Amino acid sequence: MNLNPSAADLLTLTFNPAVWGLLVLAAALYFRPFLQARRTPQGRQNWPVWKAVLFVLALLSALWALDSSAAVYTLNSMALYMVRLMVLAELVPPLLLLSLPRGTALAPRSVPGRLLSVLLDPWVAFAVWTAVILFWNIPAGFNASIVTNTASILLPALYLISGTMIWGAMLRPFPTIQPGTFGKRGWFGFLAALPMMSIAAWWLYAREVLYQPYVGAVCLWNLTPLQNQQISGWIMMLAGLPALGLAVLQLMAWLIEVSDGGGQKPQPRS
């Protein structure tokens, strides 16, 4: 095995029929209504081309994280493995959600509306996200994922699903079923960042390798297992900064909204 892979080596795609099939299906479900919407001026306004570009970037990012040569090195680089997971949790979800057309109105009582109102509920999203982050990153859960080979498909899928739920609660792509002010979304963003930042800090300051499969692992690029663990902490922490930045902007917008509302003088009665 090549223990000093280049960027070209890591970007090389493999072929998993299940992964490619799901991504092709997702592309078909997206581009069919996109092309239909582009036939009218209103549709072109609500669904500009740059949104389709974001969707393609999301698919390519997911394809690399799920089905590239980088997946071969899971046991040789915890840092590289964490890059793949963070791509699925912190990059792909916002790209997907931002690629949706403007003005998508779901009826609250429809089946999709009811389902998404539950999945994108802030507390449900936070519970699922916290369970994934904490359980699969404590030594027992992480060791089990490596030993049982669920690290190859199950864990990345859970990061993608839970990350999409968290970003969906923050970005509110379906306002008709997602009530909430900027302030509520801002505080939620800070709350959602706590589990991941806690794990990242734990990895950064631990003085020993926490996960048994990496204790005696031969790591890429002549790194030690402890260095890999510390780099993984930095990767996880940096990956969480965009969500924290969005939370700060939402809180600032809420404070401006509150100050503007509080500064208005009552109109005299006629």
Cα 60 from Cα 85, distance rounded (Å): 14
**Predicted pLDDT of residue 268:** 52
Dihedral (CA of 218, 222, 226, 228) sign: negative
Cα 106 from Cα 112, distance rounded (Å): 7
**13 - beta bridge partners?**
68
Written as tens digits, the pLDDT of the chain (270 aa) is 788 888 998 999 988 899 999 999 999 999 999 999 999 999 899 999 999 999 999 999 999 999 999 888 888 899 999 999 999 999 999 999 999 998 788 888 888 889 998 998 888 999 999 999 988 888 877 777 776 666 677 888 899 999 999 999 888 888 888 776 656 677 888 888 888 999 999 999 999 999 888 888 889 999 999 999 999 999 999 998 888 888 888 788 877 877 776 545 455 554
Cα 93 from Cα 152, distance rounded (Å): 19
Instruction: Select from 262, 115, 240, 135 the least CA-distant residue to 178.
Output: 115
Angle between helix axes 225-239 and 78-86 (nearest 10 degrees) is: 10
Cα 94 from Cα 117, distance rounded (Å): 18
Helix (H, G, I), strand (E, B) or coil at 13: strand
Residue 222's alpha-carbon distances to 2, 19, 75, 209, 217, in angstroms, are 12, 31, 14, 16, 11
Give backbone dihedrals phi and psi of 185, rounded to 5 degrees, phi first. Answer: -70, -35
Residue 266's alpha-carbon distances to 125, 255, 256, 262, in angstroms, are 40, 20, 19, 10
pTM as predicted: 0.87
**Predicted pLDDT of residue 96:** 96
Dihedral (CA of 117, 99, 153, 227) sign: negative
Cα 220 from Cα 252, distance rounded (Å): 43
**Predicted pLDDT of residue 1:** 72
**Predicted pLDDT of residue 270:** 43
